[in-house]
Amino acid sequence: MEKEAMEGHVNVMLPQENLRSDLPNGGIVLGHDKEISTLQEEISALRSRQRHLNRRRREALGKLIDLKGSIRVFCRVRPSISTSNIKIKSPVTVEQENIAVRAVGIKKDSSVDRVFDQESTQDDVFHEVKPILRSALDGHNVCILAFGQTGTGKTYTMEGTSDNLGAVPRAIQELFSHAAQDTSSTYSFSISMLEVYMGSLRDLLAPRQQPLFRSIEGNTTCNLSILATTSGSVQVEGLTDVAVPDLKKANQWYCRGRRSRSTSGTNVNNVSSRSHCSVCV
């Protein structure tokens, strides 16, 4: 034993909790079973708390939607188009939840959940619909619908422009942003786009079988069927549904669908959308 000690070959048994290994950069990793066990318990407790908070958040959001109403109606006033330098008093009077329109001695009043005046922005509109998108990730069906006459700004509100996005591209961004922050669940996304034009259905994401730039009298044959399921929901049989793993792919497919829409000139807009478009995420 003394000889081995002098030659530096003494074998010493160390407790497992004091084992260590030297890293190439000079660091040290200590193996502590007790510390690992404690960390695992803390992680389990944090996950349990996260599930509890998510449940409370869903309950609070559900109560908020119930208070505001599961169906909410907004009204957005398009800025006046002036054809001369003469300033004309607007026939529209706007309040927070009321709008009055005067025409030829007649005044019509309407009450809605929120009125956006002529100076309202895309941000203002999206701020009102943003909370319900969280409900979509919680498993609820959510719909944002624009309704109005030709030239009233429906397409601008929903699609916007490249430098001033509308409700649909903002909603897609918001969904992916929420999904990235939520570590308690795993999400998979897909997108489909449908156009209702001249009484027919068109799949805007179907493989192209004709040139991108086509006349408005292009092929409008309906190859899709509208079916009602046993649960009462409505589905479009044969509609292309594309998996989108990330926001970049989602935007690419959405832009492709937009380019495929039917457009034509009107007295208000040279490239007015001549159809109803449904985007489903």
Domain ranges of the chain: 2-42, 73-79+89-118, 121-281
More confident residue, 87 or 137: 137
Reading the block at residue 51, the tokens are 């599930």
Numbered residues of the known binding site: 148-155
Q: What is the pLDDT of residue 221?
A: 44
Name the helix (H) or strand (E) containing 135: helix 122-137
CA–CA gap between residue 94 and residue 151 (Å, rounded)? 20
121-281, CATH topology level: Kinesin (3.40.850)
Q: What is the amino acid identity at position 196?
A: V
What is the reported pTM? Answer: 0.69
Average pLDDT, the chain: 78
Mean pLDDT of 124-149: 87
What count of other Cβ atoms lies within 10 Å of the Cβ of residue 242?
Answer: 16
Q: What is the DSSP letter of 51?
A: H
Of the pLDDT bands very low, low, confident and very high (cuts 50, 70, 90), residue 55 is confident
Q: What is the pLDDT of residues 75-124, one digit of tens each?
A: 999 887 766 566 677 788 888 889 998 888 888 899 999 999 999 999 99
Report pLDDT for 222.
56
For residue 247, is pLDDT > 70? yes
Taking 90 as the threshold, does the pLDDT of residue 67 lie above it?
Answer: no
Is there a contact between 237 and 227 (Cβ–Cβ < 8 Å)? yes
- Which of 81-85, 135-139, 166-170, 179-183 has the least mean pLDDT? 81-85
Q: List, as one string, the DSSP characters of 2-38.
A: HHHHHTT-------GGG-EEE-TTS-EEE--HHHHHH
* Cβ proximity of 194 and 203 under 8 Å: yes
Dihedral sign computed on CA atoms, order 39, 45, 48, 54: negative
Q: Which residues are annotated as a binding site for ATP?
A: 148-155
